């Protein structure tokens, strides 16, 4: 088998790993059909600048005698070797055809755009055994439009034909011996009919990743350098290239270019807020079906009580900012009864870290293979966004424990195994911090709760009297209440035993409403007085709760706690009350 070695041409200033993988797999005879997926629409460093994927593929196929590209819109386009292609299809001499350019042009114009006829032309090309015409490259653009995944609808005849043709080409020993290079291009593997590559011996998928931080920094430097001739003042650049690159995790180079062009065109300097806004815009547009971006409004100073939690989370935020990745836990579990402020305290922690925060949406879908593809996309995007905080709310539903008495659904089993592998990868420590929030930690899979996936488990329980006073003070600050001198947070705390932080917030908001109603006729800017809180406490009806259920959630949270320093100060009192109600560990 003749070897291609385009990597020695000096075309690439630094050979991307996926390019090296493509060349090595093909030259080793492992794969003559390669699917390029992922970041296919980006720029790539080639020569002294940057170019799209088509330019890069032109270099990789530069030693091929016949190079064609095809898609359902334009049909077959000849990039190199037009006369050789027509000769292979007609049986005529290439030398004679090279003297008759008009005949070659006419023959090419007759090539159909119909998928079935395109496949027949390629079949004839691959079957041609004329010596010297075996070095063929075929590039399928948007292959998913030729053989799209069914997704619950019937597959058409041409779609089946495209999948079968690819499968046949991959398993044909004679074709493999001729060493063609067949490149498929599609953003997602899941958009292609699985029959095209399942059991296909000559097929190999290769993902083109989003650019790494150093690649983004080099591109920013290139962008400013190429515009220096336009007289762009250095002061207009704003952040340094390395800082732009750090903040722009998850952006493709084309998206980074849009950001730089926009800020430059408007006369702005590049600021971190603009980068974050652009990232969020792109995430909503491209990944809104699988994740939600969280933009916290408050830091941990807005949290009342929970001093033991805030102290630890501030330590984590500090080491994440400093880059001391080894001291960041792989995962944190926040557990306790509903209404205790678990989600709020984690949102405030995210604000304290100053990092991008995302929430996973439900990744499960009704069509075969879609759930796994959603999870793959989710893992890929958060890896590209790092450093990032990932919040999994109601985690017991996302990562439920396996039932030993029944067999897992295959989809659940595959997703669980994929999740265990990803969340247990120690290379993510300090760059992807997963935070689970649950009422029922024992409903989570023990494999997810083990050290190395979830290193720290923190109980967040109903507040004691001192914590309730602190919560009242924090809630009044957060909602910008002006309090009269007769308002005592300690007195309010003494009257609200059994109230959750969510209940206390409702009391604060009711008191403010009563104060507003009082001052509305006069237009005066009166403060919220003790009598308004008295009205609120009288009006507010504490929700009916299942006491036994709350007690069990509390007990589980205390028993699963991973550190003595993270046990609430009133833990002994809580355990005594649980025992008094007949609930024991």
pLDDT at 401 over 60: no
- In a shared domain, residues 315 and 265: no
**Position with higher pLDDT, 403 vs 113:** 113
**Is residue 305 situated within a structural domain?**
yes
List pLDDT tens digits, range 220-235: 999 888 877 666 555 5
- Asked if the model's pLDDT at residue 195 lies above 50, the reply is yes
Please give the pLDDT value at position 232.
Answer: 59
pLDDT digits (tens, 9 = 90+) for 67-106: 999 988 888 888 888 888 888 777 777 666 766 777 777 8
| CATH number of the CATH domain containing 190 | 3.40.50.300
Do 322 and 422 sit in the same domain of this protein? Answer: yes
- Interior/surface letters 66-95, b for 16+ CB within 10 angstroms, e for the rest: bbbbbbbeebbebbbbbbbbbbbbeeeebe
Confidence label for 474 from pLDDT (cuts 50, 70 and 90)? very high
Same domain, 400 and 488: no
pLDDT tens per residue, range 30-71: 899 999 998 999 999 887 889 999 989 988 888 888 899 998
What is the per-residue pLDDT for 509?
Answer: 94
Residue 544 domain-assigned (yes or no): no
Give CA angle at 49 (249, 71), nearest 5°: 80
In angstroms and rounded to an integer, the radius of gyration of the C-alpha atoms of the chain is 31
Name the nearest CA neighbour of 443 among 394, 406, 391. 394
> Residue holding tokens 């926040």?
334
Domain for residue 282, yes or no? Answer: no
H helix intervals, 457-570: 465-478, 489-494, 501-519, 530-539, 547-560
Residue 342 lies in a domain: yes
* pLDDT tens digit sequence for 137-152: 999 999 999 999 876 6
Same domain, 355 and 455: yes
- Beta strand residue intervals within 272-417, DSSP E: 291-294, 331-335, 356-360, 388-393
Together in a domain, 238 and 200? no
Strand pairing partners for 67?
Answer: 80, 137
Classify the phi-psi angles of 135: left when phi > 0, otherwise alpha if psi is within -120 to 50, otherwise beta. Answer: beta
Q: Is residue 521 over pLDDT 90?
A: no
- 402 band by pLDDT with thresholds 50, 70 and 90: low
Q: How far apart are alpha carbons 352 and 337 in whole angstroms? A: 24
Do 359 and 346 lie in one domain? The reply is yes
Tell me the per-residue pLDDT of 526-543, one tens digit each, with 9 for 90 and over: 789 999 999 999 999 988
Q: Does 15 lie in the same domain as 159?
A: yes
In a domain, 340, yes or no: yes
Report the C-alpha gap between 532 and 514 in whole angstroms.
6
483 shares a domain with 392: no
When pLDDT is cut at 50, 70 and 90, the band that residue 416 belongs to is confident
Pair 307, 336 in one domain: yes
Domain count, the chain: 4
Does residue 430 sit in helix, strand or coil? coil
Packing angle of the helix pair 115-127, 157-170 (nearest 10 deg): 20
Mean pLDDT of the chain: 84
Mean pLDDT across the stretch 298-321?
89
Q: What is the mean pLDDT of residues 285-310?
A: 86
Q: Are residues 153 and 240 part of one domain?
A: no
User: pLDDT digit string (tens) for 113-166?
Assistant: 788 888 888 888 888 877 655 589 999 999 999 999 876 678 899 889 999 999
Assess contact for 457 and 333: CB atoms under 8 A: yes
Last residue of a domain, one of 161, 188, 208: 208
- Range of the structural domain that residue 300 is part of: 293-459
Residue 567 lies in a domain: no
Q: What is the CATH number of the domain that holds 504?
A: 1.10.8.60
Region of poorest pLDDT, from 134-138, 140-144, 192-196, 475-479:
134-138
| End residue of a domain, out of 208, 236, 261 | 208
Residue 486 lies inside a defined structural domain of this protein: yes
How much of the chain, in percent, has pLDDT values that exceed 90? 31
pLDDT at 547 over 90: no
**How deeply is 478 buried, as exposed, middle or buried, from its count of CB atoms within 10 A (0-12, 13-18, 19+)?**
middle
Same domain, yes or no: 306 and 181: no
Task: Yes or no: say if 8 and 62 are a contact pair by the CB < 8 Å rule.
Answer: no
> Which class for 499: exposed (0-12), middle (13-18), buried (19 or more C-beta within 10 A)?
buried
Q: What pLDDT score does 470 carry?
A: 93
In this structure, the answer to whether residues 238 and 356 fall within a common structural domain is no
Asked whether residue 550 is assigned to any structural domain, the reply reads no
- Domain edge (last residue) among 438, 459, 480: 459
What is the rounded average pLDDT of the residues 213-223?
90
């Amino acid at each position: 088998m003749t070897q291609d070695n385009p990597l020695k041409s000096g075309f690439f200033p630094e050979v991307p790993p996926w390019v090296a993988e493509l060349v090595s797999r093909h030259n080793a005879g492992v794969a003559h059909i390669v699917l390029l997926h992922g970041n296919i629409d980006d720029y790539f460093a080639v020569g002294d600048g940057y170019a799209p994927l088509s330019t890069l593929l032109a270099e990789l196929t530069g030693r091929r005698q016949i190079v064609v590209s095809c898609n359902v819109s334009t049909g077959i386009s000849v990039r190199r070797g037009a006369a050789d292609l027509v000769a292979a299809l007609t049986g005529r001499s290439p030398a004679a055809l090279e003297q008759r350019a008009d005949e070659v042009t006419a023959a090419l114009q007759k090539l159909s755009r119909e998928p079935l006829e395109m496949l027949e032309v390629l079949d004839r090309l691959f079957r041609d055994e004329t010596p010297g015409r075996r070095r063929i490259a075929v590039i399928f653009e948007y292959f998913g439009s030729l053989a799209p995944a069914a997704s619950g609808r019937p597959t058409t005849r041409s779609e089946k034909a495209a999948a079968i043709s690819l499968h046949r080409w991959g398993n044909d020993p004679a074709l493999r011996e001729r060493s063609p290079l067949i490149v498929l291009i599609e953003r997602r593997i899941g958009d292609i009919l699985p029959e095209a590559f399942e059991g296909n011996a000559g097929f190999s998928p290769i993902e083109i990743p989003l650019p790494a931080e150093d690649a983004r920094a080099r591109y920013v430097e290139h962008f400013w350098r190429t515009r220096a001739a336009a007289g762009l003042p250095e002061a207009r650049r704003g952040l340094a290239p390395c800082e732009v690159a750090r903040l722009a995790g998850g952006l493709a180079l084309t998206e980074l270019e849009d950001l730089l062009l926009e800020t430059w065109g408007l006369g702005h300097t590049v600021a971190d807020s603009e980068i974050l806004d652009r990232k969020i815009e792109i995430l909503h547009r491209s990944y809104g079906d699988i994740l939600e971006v969280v933009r916290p409004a408050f830091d941990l100073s807005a949290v009342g009580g929970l001093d033991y939690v805030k102290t630890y989370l501030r330590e984590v935020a500090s080491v994440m900012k400093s880059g001391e990745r080894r001291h960041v836990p792989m995962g944190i579990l926040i557990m306790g009864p509903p209404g205790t402020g678990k989600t709020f305290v984690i949102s405030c922690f995210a604000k304290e870290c100053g990092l991008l925060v995302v929430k996973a949406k439900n990744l499960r879908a009704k069509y075969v293979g879609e759930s796994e593809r959603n999870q793959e996309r989710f893992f890929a995007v958060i890896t590209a966004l790092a450093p990032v905080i990932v919040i999994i709310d109601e985690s017991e539903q996302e990562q439920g424990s396996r039932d030993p008495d029944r067999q897992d659904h295959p989809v659940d089993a595959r997703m669980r195994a994929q999740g265990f592998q990803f969340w247990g990868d120690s290379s993510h420590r300090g760059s992807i911090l997963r935070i689970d929030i649950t009422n029922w930690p024992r409903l989570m899979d023990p494999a997810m709760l083990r050290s190395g996936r979830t290193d720290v488990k923190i109980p967040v329980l109903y507040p004691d009297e001192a914590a309730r006073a602190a919560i009242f003070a924090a809630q009044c600050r957060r909602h910008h209440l002006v309090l009269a001198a007769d308002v005592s947070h300690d007195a309010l705390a003494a009257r609200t035993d059994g109230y959750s932080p969510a209940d206390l917030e409702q009391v604060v908001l009711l008191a403010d409403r009563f104060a507003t109603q009082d001052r509305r006729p006069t237009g005066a800017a009166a403060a919220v007085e003790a009598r308004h809180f008295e009205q609120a406490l009288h009006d507010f009806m504490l929700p009916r709760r299942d006491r036994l259920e709350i007690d069990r959630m509390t007990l589980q949270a205390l028993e699963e706690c991973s550190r003595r320093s993270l046990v609430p100060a009133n833990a002994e009192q809580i355990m005594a009350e649980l025992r008094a109600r007949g609930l024991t560990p």
